[in-house]
A and B are shown apart, each in its own frame.
Chain A
Amino acid sequence: MLDYITSYLKSDATPGAAGNMLWAFIYIMLIFLGLSIAVIAMNWLERKILAHMQVRLGPMRVGPHGLLQPIADAIKLLIKEDIMPAEADKAVFWMAPLIVVTAAFTTFIVVPFGPQHAVTDMNIGILFMLGVSSLGVLGIVMAGWASNSHYPLIGALRSSAQMVSYEVAMGLAVVSAVLMTSLHGAGIYATGGSNGMGTLSMIEIVKAQQEQQTWFAFKFFPLGLMAMFVFAVAMVAETNRAPFDLPEAESELTAGFHTEYSGFRWSLFFLAEYSAMIAVSSILVTLWLGGWLRPFPNLLNGPTWDLVFSLFPGLMFLALAGLTFYSTARMPKMRYFRVQTLGLAGFGALLGLIGLILFIPPVRDRIQDIYWFVAKVAVFMYLYIWYRGTFPRYRFDQLMKVGWKVLLPMGLGVLIVTAIVGVL
């Protein structure tokens, strides 16, 4: 029994490949936990960052600087009454949020947090992720239909039409990235690495970037950047986020396909949306930005540079702790705010503790891959929020026009030119 548990730790592969069910289960639990924390953090971050972009303060009351706001939101959603429309189709109504959440969470099976830190490394990793996110579209259509009222139906149809159209553009961008795993250009475009076959497996794609010593975003400049741009726009449209969020815009369609859902079911949709955002961001990071590799893994290699870069996680957490202590010092000195000040100081102490733990060498080495991956995904989460605060909404026909007439030809062009440049 103990042997079963520890035999995995010596092996060099992901739990799925090693056939070890217990560790696969543990990884799945860890991913659940991480995703929940990430969604909660996203909720708070989104409100705070949007607020600061709009020169206001955001939630400040619930906890120190609104830190407990997501928990308050969660409690509110859980105790809300569960309304079901009278004429609705009960079975389909009940199943729709489940399908969306299942599809959003299942994509995380193949997301590589490190060379052996994925739940399993499927041979068709990318294909699997794209396919399962297209299953989420089904859940949205079911949700709109089962509500049996015209606003959700229109919202659902629009939303799914948008998602399906942008899936095509996403697929093309993904194909050009996968193409780059096997191609080496000539002349100024030449990259190192072995000239082997391409692969669809996520971990192999990152390893190919490592061998070729270039992140695919910068390969065959500017083709990698264009492919990444196409995917970045398509992924924002795929997850129904601003500026493509007409189907769920509150001023246009009374919240679209999840109008009739309340309480816990709505929070499932919300969870699925944020998880889908994180999932497609991790696809982008894996394919173009070198997954878990630290910046300049080959150019600046050697133990000293490794050491310098490995200090980043700890330093970042210490910087965050410093910021927290600074805002603690700036809190109003009235008696009313004493609890909040103490809470904020406690939070700062927690961050500092995590930072200090990350300086311990064994922890430091193991946390490297995961840290860089999560950091890159976090950059894209920030970009999502930035887009929401900056861009006006697209009208639906403009949205479809952009998807089919702009992104699709661009994706095709990038693919063809990549293939030509690579084979030269």
Chain B
Amino acid sequence: MAPVATPFFFYFLSGLALVSGILVITRKNPVHSALALILTLLALAGIYLMLYAPFVAGVQIILYAGGIMVLFLFVIMLVDVGRAEKERQFNKQWLVAIAATLGLGILFVKVFTASKTLAELLKRPLAQLPETSNTQQVGFSLYGQYMLAFEIASLLLLVAIVGAVVMAKKRI
């Protein structure tokens, strides 16, 4: 697909993701935070589409935005929100937290730019990922090379289901 106005979409989507991310952590009402998270997820799905990864974008919309966020909204509604709104929202240690995060971020950036292999690899031409058969190729990898990881992931999901059911039961 010929990229149409790609820089515009990139800035728009990433700006949207950033703004909704900030909204997620600053809103008092958990429902508003959840909605902002949904917006972030959709913006990220758009960015994945631009990065020639339509399958991951589709999976993100179905699973993350459609499934996990519904789960979150359910739980938010079952948990009493009214009381929580009147209490203080932020920790006593917020200044330390922000300082620590900034430190972590600076660490990441320094590691990123100082790595030699990264600088070499950045000079390589971009991989030609054809968009039309992306799903088929991902499928081939999943069922061929990464079969073991696939099976382990399904086992993990089974364990998570059993665990969640056990934990939410009233009497075991």
Distance between Cα atoms of A343 and B85 in the complex (Å): 60
User: Which residues of B68-111 are within 8 A (CB) of A?
Assistant: 69-70, 73-74, 77
User: Which residues of A120-165 are within 8 A (CB) of B?
Assistant: 122-124, 127-128, 130-132, 134-135, 137-138, 141-142, 145, 153, 157, 160-161, 164
Distance between Cα atoms of A393 and B132 in the complex (Å): 44
A19 touches B4 (CB 8 A): yes
B54 touches A122 (CB 8 A): yes
A400 interface residue per 8 A CB criterion: no
CB < 8 Å neighbour of A17 from B1, B59, B135: B1
Q: Kindly name the residue among A124, A128, A134, A167 whose own CB sees the greatest number of chain B CB atoms within 10 A.
A: A124
CB < 8 Å neighbour of B135 from A91, A124, A142: A124
B77 touches A157 (CB 8 A): yes
Q: Within the complex, what minimum Cβ distance (angstroms) separates B114 from chain A?
A: 38
B131 interface residue per 8 A CB criterion: yes
CB < 8 Å neighbour of A89 from B31, B70, B77: B31
A19 touches B135 (CB 8 A): no
User: Given contacts A19-B4, A123-B131, A153-B77, is CB(A135)–CB(B66) below 8 Å?
Assistant: yes
The B contact surface, by secondary structure, is: helix
User: Given contacts A123-B132, A123-B135, A145-B73, is CB(A131)–CB(B4) below 8 Å?
Assistant: no
**Chain B interfacial residues counted at CB < 8 A:** 29
Q: Which residues from chain B contact A19 at a C-beta distance below 8 Å?
A: 1-2, 4
Q: Within the complex, what minimum Cβ distance (angstroms) separates B132 from chain A?
A: 6
Q: What's the A-B contact tally at a CB cutoff of 8 Å?
A: 81
B13 interface residue per 8 A CB criterion: no
Distance between Cα atoms of A337 and B55 in the complex (Å): 60
Contact with A along B7-35 (1 / 0, CB 8 A): 00000000000000000000001011001
Q: Within the complex, what minimum Cβ distance (angstroms) separates A221 from chain B?
A: 27
**Chain A interfacial residues counted at CB < 8 A:** 33
A138 touches B65 (CB 8 A): yes
B136 interface residue per 8 A CB criterion: yes
The A contact surface, by secondary structure, is: helix
Q: Within the complex, what minimum Cβ distance (angstroms) separates B130 from chain A?
A: 10
Question: Which single residue of chain B is at the shortest CB-CB distance from A204?
Answer: B132
A157 touches B74 (CB 8 A): yes
Q: Within the complex, what minimum Cβ distance (angstroms) separates A87 from chain B?
A: 10
User: Given contacts A123-B135, A131-B61, A157-B77, is CB(A21)–CB(B70) below 8 Å?
Assistant: no
Q: Kindly name the residue among B35, B38, B58, B134 whose own CB sees the greatest number of chain A CB atoms within 10 A.
A: B58
Q: Within the complex, what minimum Cβ distance (angstroms) separates B95 from chain A?
A: 30
Question: Which single residue of chain B is at the shortest CB-CB distance from A134?
Answer: B66
Q: Which residues from chain B contact A197 at a C-beta distance below 8 Å?
A: 133, 136
Q: Which residues from chain A contact B4 at a C-beta distance below 8 Å?
A: 19, 21
Distance between Cα atoms of A145 and B30 in the complex (Å): 12
A131 touches B66 (CB 8 A): yes
Distance between Cα atoms of A243 and B65 in the complex (Å): 28
Contact with B along A1-28 (1 / 0, CB 8 A): 0000000000000001101010000000
A92 interface residue per 8 A CB criterion: yes
Distance between Cα atoms of A93 and B59 in the complex (Å): 28
CB < 8 Å neighbour of A137 from B1, B55, B70, B77: B70
User: Given contacts A134-B62, A138-B38, is CB(A160)–CB(B70) below 8 Å?
Assistant: yes
User: Given contacts A19-B4, A92-B35, A164-B67, is CB(A141)–CB(B74) below 8 Å?
Assistant: yes
Nearest 4 pairs of A and B residues by beta carbon: A134-B66, A131-B61, A127-B58, A131-B62
Interface residues of chain A, those whose CB is within 8 Å of chain B, are 16-17, 19, 21, 89, 91-92, 95, 122-124, 127-128, 130-132, 134-135, 137-138, 141-142, 145, 153, 157, 160-161, 164, 167, 197-200
Additional A-B contact list (5), CB under 8 Å, known A89-B31, A127-B62, A134-B61: A124-B55, A137-B70, A141-B70, A153-B77, A160-B74
